[in-house]
Structures are given as structure tokens and as C-alpha cells.
């Protein structure tokens, strides 16, 4: 078997789960099988007290897993295609503490304390570090969706509330890409951030300038943290 091929491994996994489901329904334990040979002499009876309900639940789970393996279903109006659905990369997160304040709504300004590490544990930045004058740094502010931060941050606060803490695991495709940001961020670096949402505010409108409007609108601005801190929930 070509063990390095993800599709082969997936199919082998589906096969093993099907075997487990058959065992559940038939009352036979296939765990003692060596390799792929289904030698009857190595089949061991299961506990006869195992409920039939549990066996049917197992079968239902296996059928659902097999349906997922067939790939995403598209509307009938789209041209048909064949082949397994692939995932190029994904943003992962762990909610550490659920906040109780304002929701991190789209297009709002977010104020965030954070610490960032590489996957080898090396810290490359933190808003919690003091400045050279010994004073605490204010939280980082950015308008969500305006591409002022890496893509993993634009998407990483969805569902959070002020006061919430989350760990973000951001692949390089949603961070600094193939080139990285030397010397702190090496090429193709997965980044780990512990973030705390400190505040949410409306963006600030730019003052109107006499004359024709520019072809490209200026990026939205965020109020100063001191203003938001005084009014946050």
C-alpha cells in the first residue's frame, strides 16, 4: 500500500471504520485481526450485553463519515466535477475564556492585547511588553476587514466578546506567507497568538476635504484607546 498518499490513507481509514461498525452490529470483535486478513480463528465474541441501540448509532456515524468522504455536494446548476474535496489550509483556535462585553462585530475597531510565538516556542512580539520608557503598551487597534492586519487576525475574532481570550493557530497562508517577515518571522511560519479582546468601537469617519474625492477611499481609523477604555462595557 502507498502509505504516503493521503487519499489512500483516507480510504484505509474508512475501511477500518466500516469493519468496526460491522463488528458492532454483528456482535463480533475484529480488534484481534492481524494485518488485513480476516482469519475466523482470530475473531473474538463481543459482550452479549452490548445494546442494539448503540450498534445502530455506530452504523449511523459510519454512514455519515462515508458520505463526507464523497466530497462536497454542489447545486445541480453547476457543471459536474469529480475528485475528492481538498483543504488547502485552515485557521484554528481555542477559546480560553468567554467574554461578556460587546460583540466583535464586522467592520468595527478591535482593541487587542496579544502575545505571539513561533511553533518552536520563540516569542516574537507581545503587546504586554513594556515600552522603552517603562510604561505599558496600549492594546493594538485595527479596523476589522480593512486588511490592516494579517488575514488570520481579520477572521480570528469572530464570535468573541470583550473580555474573551482565545488562542489562534494561524497557517502561513493567513499570516506572512511564503517569504515570512525576517528576521522575526521565518518563511512559511505558522504563528500562535494568545489574544484578549479589550474593546470594540465604531470606526472614525475621515474629515471631508474640499475638492474632488480621491479614487480610493482612505482606510478607516480607530479612536484612541484612552477614549475607548473610558467608555467600554
Which domains are delineated in the chain? 6-69 (no CATH), 92-204+220-231 (3.10.50.40)
Q: Decide if 125 is catalytic.
A: yes
Catalytic residue among 29, 125, 194, 202: 125
Q: Coil, strand or helix: which one is 117?
A: strand
pTM of structure: 0.66
**Which has the closest alpha carbon to 19: 45, 47, 38?**
38
pLDDT tens column, 8-57: 444 555 555 555 555 555 555 544 444 444 444 444 444 555 566 666 55
Q: Decide if 224 is catalytic.
A: no
Q: What residues pair up with 170 in beta bridges, in sequence order? A: 191
* Residue 167 confidence (pLDDT): 98
pLDDT tens column, 62-96: 555 555 445 678 899 999 998 888 889 999 999 99
Q: Decide if 111 is catalytic.
A: no
pLDDT tens column, 179-215: 999 999 999 999 999 999 999 999 987 555 566 766 6
User: Is the Cα dihedral 15, 19, 25, 26 positive or negative?
Assistant: positive
* Residue 204 confidence (pLDDT): 87
Cβ atoms 101, 60 nearer than 8 A:
no
Tell me the H-state helices in the chain. Answer: 6-26, 52-69, 151-156, 225-231
Amino acid at each position: 500500500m502507498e502509505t504516503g498518499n493521503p487519499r489512500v490513507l483516507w480510504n484505509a481509514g474508512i475501511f477500518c471504520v466500516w469493519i468496526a461498525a460491522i463488528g458492532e452490529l454483528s456482535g463480533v470483535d475484529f480488534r484481534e485481526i492481524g494485518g488485513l486478513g480476516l482469519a475466523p480463528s482470530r475473531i473474538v465474541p463481543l459482550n452479549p450485553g452490548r445494546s442494539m441501540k448503540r450498534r445502530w448509532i455506530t452504523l449511523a456515524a459510519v454512514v455519515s463519515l462515508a458520505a463526507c468522504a464523497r466530497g462536497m455536494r454542489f447545486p445541480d446548476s453547476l457543471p459536474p466535477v469529480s475528485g475528492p474535496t481538498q483543504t488547502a489550509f485552515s485557521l484554528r483556535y481555542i477559546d480560553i475564556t468567554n467574554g461578556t462585553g460587546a460583540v466583535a462585530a464586522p467592520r468595527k475597531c478591535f482593541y487587542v492585547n496579544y502575545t505571539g510565538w513561533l511553533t518552536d516556542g520563540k516569542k516574537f512580539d507581545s503587546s504586554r511588553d513594556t515600552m522603552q520608557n517603562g510604561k505599558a503598551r496600549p492594546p493594538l487597534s485595527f479596523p476589522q476587514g480593512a486588511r490592516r492586519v494579517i488575514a488570520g487576525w481579520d477572521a480570528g475574532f469572530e464570535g468573541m466578546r470583550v473580555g474573551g481570550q482565545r488562542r489562534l493557530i494561524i497557517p502561513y497562508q493567513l499570516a506572512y506567507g511564503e517569504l515570512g517577515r525576517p528576521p522575526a518571522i521565518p518563511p512559511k511560519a505558522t504563528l500562535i497568538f494568545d489574544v484578549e479582546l479589550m474593546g470594540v468601537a465604531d470606526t472614525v469617519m475621515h474629515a471631508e476635504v474640499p475638492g474632488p474625492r480621491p479614487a480610493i477611499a482612505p482606510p478607516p481609523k480607530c479612536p484612541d484607546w484612552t477614549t475607548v477604555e473610558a467608555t467600554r462595557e
